[in-house]
């Protein structure tokens, strides 16, 4: 059982776009999440997920990291966007349905409005599938809900 809120409370996506299933580890600026490639995933074609989708998975892990930060501080989740990808290495062309993935992200540096993260996607055997260094812009902080 996770000690973290449901992923839908941390990431500003809804199904079918929300792929990350669970946040498994978090400290400020670092997060690890997991998911299983499922047939009903929006990006699955012919029983497999193209590994280029890993950039979206890393983006969702970053969103969960930032969402957990807001949650821990009593604030609300913000919308963000990947605006640049300085490096992207795809080490496998695709992932089969049923593959369990672990997605890790680490903040390299950042401000309240812009940040740089390193991300890595691992398969069920712990082998790297993809890695990237991304720049994200953060939307305005939403008003606190009363």
Q: Report the candidate in 118, 131, 126, 65 with the shortest Cα–Cα distance to residue 101.
A: 126
Evaluate whether 139 touches 63 at the Cβ level (below 8 Å): no
Q: What is the pLDDT of residues 104-146, one digit of tens each?
A: 999 999 888 899 999 999 999 999 999 999 999 987 766 654 4
d(C-alpha 36, C-alpha 51), whole Å: 13
Give the start-to-end residue ranges of the domains of the chain: 7-138
Q: What are phi and psi of 96, to 5 degrees?
A: -80, 155
pLDDT value of position 7:
93
The distance in angstroms from the start CA to the end CA of the chain is 29
> Is the overall model pTM greater than 0.85, yes or no?
yes
Q: What is the model's pLDDT at position 142? A: 62
> Distance between CA 116 and CA 53 in Å, rounded?
19
Please enumerate in sequence order all residues whose Cβ is within 8 A of that of 114, keeping only pairs 6 or more positions apart, or say none: 135, 136, 137, 138
Q: What pLDDT, on a 0 to 100 scale, did the predictor assign at position 146? A: 41
Whole-number average pLDDT of the chain: 91
Q: Nearest to residue 101, comparing CAs of 120, 84, 122?
A: 122
CATH superfamily, domain 7-138, is: Hotdog Thioesterase (3.10.129.10)
Strands (E), the chain: 22-27, 30-36, 44-45, 48-50, 80-90, 94-96, 100-110, 114-122, 128-138
Residue 119 forms beta bridges with which residues? 105, 132
Give the model confidence (pLDDT) of 52-74 as tens digits: 999 999 999 999 999 999 898 88
> Is residue 126 left, alpha or beta, with left meaning phi > 0 and alpha meaning psi from -120 to 50?
left
Residues 12-48: pLDDT tens digits?
Answer: 887 888 999 999 999 999 999 999 999 999 999 999 9
pLDDT digits (tens, 9 = 90+) for 84-106: 999 999 999 999 999 999 999 99
């Amino acid at each position: 059982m996770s000690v973290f809120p449901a992923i839908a409370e941390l990431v500003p996506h809804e199904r079918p776009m929300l792929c990350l299933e669970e946040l498994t580890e978090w400290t400020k600026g670092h997060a690890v999440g997991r998911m299983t490639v499922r047939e009903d995933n929006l990006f699955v074609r012919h029983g497999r997920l193209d590994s280029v989708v890993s950039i979206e998975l890393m983006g969702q892990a970053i969103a969960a990291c930032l969402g957990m930060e807001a949650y821990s501080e009593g604030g609300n989740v913000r919308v963000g966007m990947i605006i640049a990808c300085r490096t992207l290495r795809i080490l496998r062309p695709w992932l089969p349905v049923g593959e369990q993935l672990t997605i890790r992200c680490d903040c390299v540096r950042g401000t309240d409005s812009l940040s740089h993260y390193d991300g890595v996607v691992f398969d069920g055997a712990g082998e790297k599938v993809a890695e990237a260094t991304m720049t994200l812009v953060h939307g305005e902080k939403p008003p606190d809900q009363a």
